[in-house]
């Protein structure tokens, strides 16, 4: 499995141990880049995460906007 970070979008959180949660645009196995929310180790190893297509990310954005509007 290969991955390439196309664009770093945001650092969501970090810890004293060096682990980070990042939102990036990532291409997995040379495929179309997707929005990727994932934890990274201090050594730069990708840990568990979630990938979303643009349409899925827009639906998530709508849901979060609705949730925080209440």
Q: Mean pLDDT over residues 35-43, rounded?
A: 97
Distance CA 40, CA 17 (A): 11
The pLDDT of residue 25: 98
Domain map of the chain by residue range? 3-69
pLDDT digits (tens, 9 = 90+) for 11-36: 999 999 999 999 999 999 999 999 99
Torsion angle, CA of 35/38/43/45, rounded to 10 degrees?
-80
According to the model, what pLDDT value does residue 70 have? 77
As a CATH number, domain 3-69 is: 2.30.31.70
Summary mean pLDDT of the chain? 96
pLDDT level of residue 1 (50, 70, 90 thresholds)? confident
Beta bridge partners of 9: none
**Residue in 69, 62, 14, 19 with CA at minimum distance from that of residue 44:** 19
Residues in the chain: 70
- Residue 58 sits at the vertex; the CA angle it makes with 54 and 60, to the nearest 5 degrees, is 115
């Amino acid at each position: 499995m290969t991955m390439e970070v196309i664009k770093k979008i945001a650092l969501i959180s970090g810890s004293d141990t060096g682990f980070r949660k990042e939102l990036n645009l990532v291409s997995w196995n040379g495929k179309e880049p997707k929005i990727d929310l994932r934890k990274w180790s201090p050594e730069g190893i990708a840990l568990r995460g979630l990938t979303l297509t643009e349409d899925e990310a827009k639906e998530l954005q709508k849901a979060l906007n609705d949730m925080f509007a209440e």
